[in-house]
Amino acid sequence: MTASAGRIDIFERLPIKRAVLLQIIPAIASQMITLLYNLADTYFVGMLNDPGETAAVTVGYASFVFLTAISNLFGVGGASALARSLGRGEKDAAGRISSVAFWLGAFSSLLFSLIFLLFQRPLLMICGADADTLELAVSYTTWAVVIGGPATILNVLLANLIRAEGSAAHASIGVSIGGIANIILDPIFILPTGLGLGALGAGAATALSNLISTIYFIALIFIKRKRTIISLSIKKLRYTGVYLKSILSVGFPSALQYALTVVAVSAQLNFMSGYATEAVAAVGIVKKLDQLPLFFSIGVANGLLPMIAYNHAAGNYERRQRAFRFGCGISLAFSLLCLVFYEIFPGALTGLFIQDQATIEYASVFLRIMVTAMPMMSLCYPLIIQFQAMGRVRESLICSVIRKGVLDIPLLFILNALIPLYGCVLVQPIVDTVSLIVAGFFYKRLKRRGEA
């Protein structure tokens, strides 16, 4: 059996639970490593006990999310198209799709970095920076977004493509290498005992760690070029016109969701900036803690995508449904565990990131409110990923836009007026509940039609 055939065997013949676990465990592991290095930025910057530094990283992170939007445009779209091609037995097409997705992602990453550099300060002001945090946010994003942006985009994009051909373990290793590098570099770059660069050091560590991951993925593909379906040949860009629609139609809803996340987070931070700096720092810490169940669910969804896409294209709908249900059960169970733990120990958890008592008090209340969204969110992501894997653009787009963009900003105005400050953090539980209802409606309708 060839290496390629062995990977496809995971999609086609292994027992469902084993096949799903082989895909999602590495994907979850890589997401947890990514979470650790995101938390590391906040943790080590928080050790400076300067709410301004912590708030600057929070503001800068909104811009950083745009990089994920671009990587998902070509990474999720390319992964879905690649896995569906494999399901139809079209290996040559899968190789061309990977090349088109990679190079379009590379060109887009350079363009975004240039645009962000030109409009850096006004964009950061829109994201919630003020006179106290602007220069710190500029120093963070110069490294994390402008210099490190292309590597960040290609790191995520390549992990998606490698996972889509059944090599979930290699995708996990690449992401984990970068994450571990970031955790090692953070204290060296941030703390006074090292280089003492503060928020700037956090951005530099992020840029270098993502570059390490990208180099690993490119080297892996080169070494295994005769055994992998993935191709990075620039010559295959001539097939762009053939595959562009299939990549963008699926990738666009995912990219739009992340882009709208930036808008929603920026709007929230703008509302929060009218209150104390400690409140802005607190919401940044809470969003970091909220990422544990979020990243777990994203890991489950990312692991499921190629398996669902492959079996959908191959016409094996029963296997696809069983894999989806098993994955959803795992995602929901973990989110409920986090819900209980966060509600019981909010002060202890937020106190890990900063010693400022005012910030801890704000963060404890915010955390208890925001965690109520976790169970809904844990099911929303797998549902949206299933629509993307099936090539259901309309359902994926509607659910993505509802979850981020359509409801967030109007609710911010309403709830902040009704419940000043605390209304801002009530938005996410409401939005995730509505999103789950809509996604569930679409899923049931597709099942009645025999399409899901």
**pLDDT confidence of 1, banded at 50, 70, 90?**
very low
40 to each of 276, 285, 412, 439, how far by Cα in Å? 24, 11, 29, 33
Is 398's pLDDT higher than 60?
Answer: yes
pLDDT at 6: 53
Q: Can you tell me the distance from the alpha carbon of 436 to that of 448, in angstroms, rounded to the nearest whole number?
A: 18
**pLDDT confidence of 62, banded at 50, 70, 90?**
confident
Is 304's pLDDT higher than 60?
Answer: yes
- Terminal CA-to-CA distance of the chain, rounded, Å? 32
62 to each of 55, 174, 377, 423, how far by Cα in Å? 11, 24, 19, 20
CA atoms within 13 A on the CB side of 115: 11
For 324-353, what is each residue's pLDDT tens digit?
999 999 999 999 999 999 999 998 998 887
Q: Can you tell me the distance from the alpha carbon of 278 to that of 51, in angstroms, rounded to the nearest whole number?
A: 6
CA atoms within 13 A on the CB side of 345: 9
Neighbours of 313 (CB within 10 A): 22
- What's the token pair of residue 447? 């099942």
382 to each of 34, 38, 300, 434, how far by Cα in Å? 19, 22, 7, 16
Portion of the chain with pLDDT greater than 90, in percent: 47
Helix locations, 198-350, DSSP H: 199-223, 240-272, 277-314, 317-344, 346-350
Is 428's pLDDT higher than 80?
Answer: yes
Is 148's pLDDT higher than 90?
Answer: yes
Highest mean pLDDT range out of 66-70, 129-133, 213-217, 358-362?
213-217
Helix locations, 47-119, DSSP H: 51-87, 91-118
* 133, 284 contact by CB (below 8 A): no
Span 6-20, average pLDDT: 81
pLDDT at 41: 80
For the CA atoms of 413, 292, 171, 396, the dihedral, rounded to the nearest 10 degrees, stands at: -40
52 to each of 58, 123, 270, how far by Cα in Å? 10, 18, 15
**pLDDT confidence of 4, banded at 50, 70, 90?**
low
* 70, 248 contact by CB (below 8 A): no
- In this predicted structure, which of 259-273, 275-289, 309-323 has the lowest mean pLDDT? 259-273
pLDDT at 107: 96
pLDDT at 357: 87
pLDDT at 206: 92
